[in-house]
Amino acid sequence: GAVVSQHPSRVICKSGTSVKIECRSLDFQATTMFWYRQFPKKSLMLMATSNEGSKATYEQGVEKDKFLINHASLTLSTLTVTSAHPEDSSFYICSARVTGTNTGELFFGEGSRLTVL
């Protein structure tokens, strides 16, 4: 199946700094990528839909100025957590759908665990 890669897999940062997480589709083009946040013992929460060449669509309650999403090419989307705080510590997962398919299947990255001290 299609491969989605995230980097870094783990990151620790100080409170107040910004962290960038990359999501790449390695062997396919993805017009749309999705960013999820997973809380401990809970399901995935869709944060935003990243669209290549246009602004991301954020879910209700997600601060777009805090979670900056850029989808500059058909194979790369980035999530930047700005001015991170300890409550932003979480597991962030990106996913992508193969452009042009109609199966609806999503392919997921390995996830990035962010710890804010």
Partner 1 sequence: GDSVTQMEGPVTLSEEAFLTINCTYTATGYPSLFWYVQYPGEGLQLLLKATKADDKGSNKGFEATYRKETTSFHLEKGSVQVSDSAVYFCALIPGNFNKFYFGSGTKLNVKP
Question: Where do contacts with partner 1 occur on this chain (CB under 8 A)?
Answer: 1, 6, 34, 41-44, 46, 49, 93, 95, 97, 102-111
Within 8 A by CB and 6+ apart from 117, the residues are 12, 13, 14, 15, 86
Q: Which C-beta is closer to partner 1: that of 14 or that of 104?
A: 104
Nearest to 84 by CA among 60, 67, 59: 67
Q: Which C-beta is closer to partner 1: that of 40 or that of 86?
A: 40
Within 8 A by CB and 6+ apart from 101, the residues are none
Q: Which C-beta is closer to partner 1: that of 27 or that of 110?
A: 110
In angstroms, give the least distance from the CB of 94 to partner 1: 9
Q: Which C-beta is closer to partner 1: that of 44 or that of 74?
A: 44
Within 8 A by CB and 6+ apart from 32, the residues are 49, 50, 51, 52, 96, 97, 99
In angstroms, give the least distance from the CB of 83 to partner 1: 26
